[in-house]
Structure 1
Amino acid sequence: MKKRYLNCFISVITSLVLLFSVYNCFLKNNIKAESISTLATTAADDYTTYESGEETENPFNKQDDMEVPYDGKQWIQPKEWNCPTINPKDYKGGIMLYFDKIGLEPEYAKGHVQRIYFSISGASEPVNYIKFHVFYDTRLTVKKSSNGEVISPGKGLSNFTTGSSMIEEGQLAFYAYSENTILNKSSLFTIDFIIPENAEQGELYPIGISYVDDGIAADAFISSERNDADKLQMTYVFTKGIYNGYIKMLGEKKTTSTTTTVTTTTTSAKDIIPLDYNLGDVNNDGQINAVDASSVLAHYAKISTNKESEYTEEQKFSADVDHDGLINAVDASLILAYYAYISTTKEDIIPIEDYIIMNY
């Protein structure tokens, strides 16, 4: 009981800090603060909610090794918008916000740190206020950054003031605010997770976002203008535009026969992938070059003519370098561009993930 109230208290304090930080930012930049008074008047109601014993459930902590897709049904249109219900189908853009989906070989992953990116592409309207609640499987452990943050801002938010906090184990809060900015394809933030020492093949640790309205400052992705286009984009983001991710230990999950107490493990050779199986290195030879690009084009040609691809799931992940869910000529072109970059750069070569984010 005490722990629950402590977590609730921390959540309320975090929201209050966010509230006044945003308020100060709005004043400093002469930005409209039409929702501040509404947020402030609901603070007392938030205490009542927590005292009633209601807590935000962690939908990613089922620990059943299953992916947790984003649930757009959690979205609640803000009352302060004071407008008819917005239909996300009216949004004509292609905005996507997505977490990495990572496959690791457990023998080498145990106890190691894995960085997960949350990226954006296809934004059509500017934003200046962002707030997300990130949930994760508590078998993972968050490693704080050098400045003590649980979430680190990415290149896309370089001009934003950002902050993060751990509401409780398994739930993080992240916010960012600035002057109105159209976010080009980039990384919004990263989280470093420590893989459990007892990780076993077949285990999957889901990571993602669930929309939360804590009664003080609801999750948001919008500009200070709050015009119809801004509201429509935010509605689409929180109903259809978010894609959750995971960290997966490759290989078949251990199973126990119903007629014996002996535990047997079935492992297929194609399910095992070493930790250094990098994005873009489709043939897993330790290099990213024209051979990988050619392989991606061959795969694209096959699936375009309704032929069956011979790629494993791990190769598909490696080939989809722009994380758009498709493997096509765009991915092959990006691999070739990165190959040209590493062939002409002698020092401080950055990973392909960062190269794509910084240049495309």
Structure 2
Amino acid sequence: MPKPRKSAFGRLRTNSRLGLSVVALGMLLAGCAETQLAVHGVKRLGGVQSQPTQIGNYKIGNPYEIAGQWYYPAVDYEYSETGIASWYGPKFHGKKTANGEVFDQYEISAAHRTLPLPSIVRVTNLENGKSLKVRVNDRGPFAHGRIIDMSRRAAQLLGFEKKGTAKVMVEVIEAESRQIAAIAQGKAAPQVTVAEQNTVTAAPRDVVETVRLDDGPITETGQPTTSQIKLTPPASGPILTSAPLEGTVEEAAIINIEPVTNSAIYVQAGAFSIYDNALNLRNRLYDLAPSKIEPIEVKGTTFYRVRLGPLNTVPEADILLERVIATGQNGAKVVVECADGGAAKSGC
């Protein structure tokens, strides 16, 4: 991934004590079209300075089961996954996270099912190109079809607070995850200066960077991928509001927005090292939706993924996922596939 450009307007501060100030600056950069947004944080109401970023206890945890699905927490510095992100806020604000921190919806943090706590990940919104580093300090989400739950502030910066969900790519940042893990365990991070440790500690707070998402074909015919399946979303759902934030982050952030290519949503019913097993599952699910078997090599072993779709919307994917799970495929999940069929590491 290329390193993000730093704007000359970075680190601006606001003296405003109420609401969230957002100043947008459009720029045309040589070689590519970009939009830079200067997003300003505010101090807590009452003149109280924001506290240093929390680190919490280091925790991996034992395997656990929720709603028939087993999860296996583990250290995985090669973790990279595409899927659907959601966000959480007021209901959990002020409550303890899984590693002992106090959840603050105004800070940049996230919940993940299996990564060590804390970890640093890069979350990229595949719909608008925005990305930022996030401190994972909680367990979740446990709703089917979601791979990460962002704090309200993180969802705002990634541009999906109003929508509620977004297609994302989540990648562990190994060096910073190792450093923050060492700090959380009270160890001196090897070959890391005090300044670098402070950078790691502060990284998830209002620090936004961009990764370039390579251009690529939409489909072989040049047309956007569309779903051929007819699914009826629920008639009604929760209404997400966008009230202004009334407390925290003290420093400015620069959001770079770069072009993205199309991506599609699929339900992955399973992955097998034996092709016949994948074929049998595809035949069992044949009537649910259009499907395909995709080979992928992982550490020298070829796996065959059974995927249903593509689907146009997250509600469609949620419905299809529940239908697949009802057939006994508890490990089924929603995934996002790049238009060129590339893996998550290649970006969309």
Q: TM-score, normalised by structure 1?
A: 0.28
More helix by share: 1
Please identify the structure whose Cα radius of gyration is greater: 1
More strand by share: 2
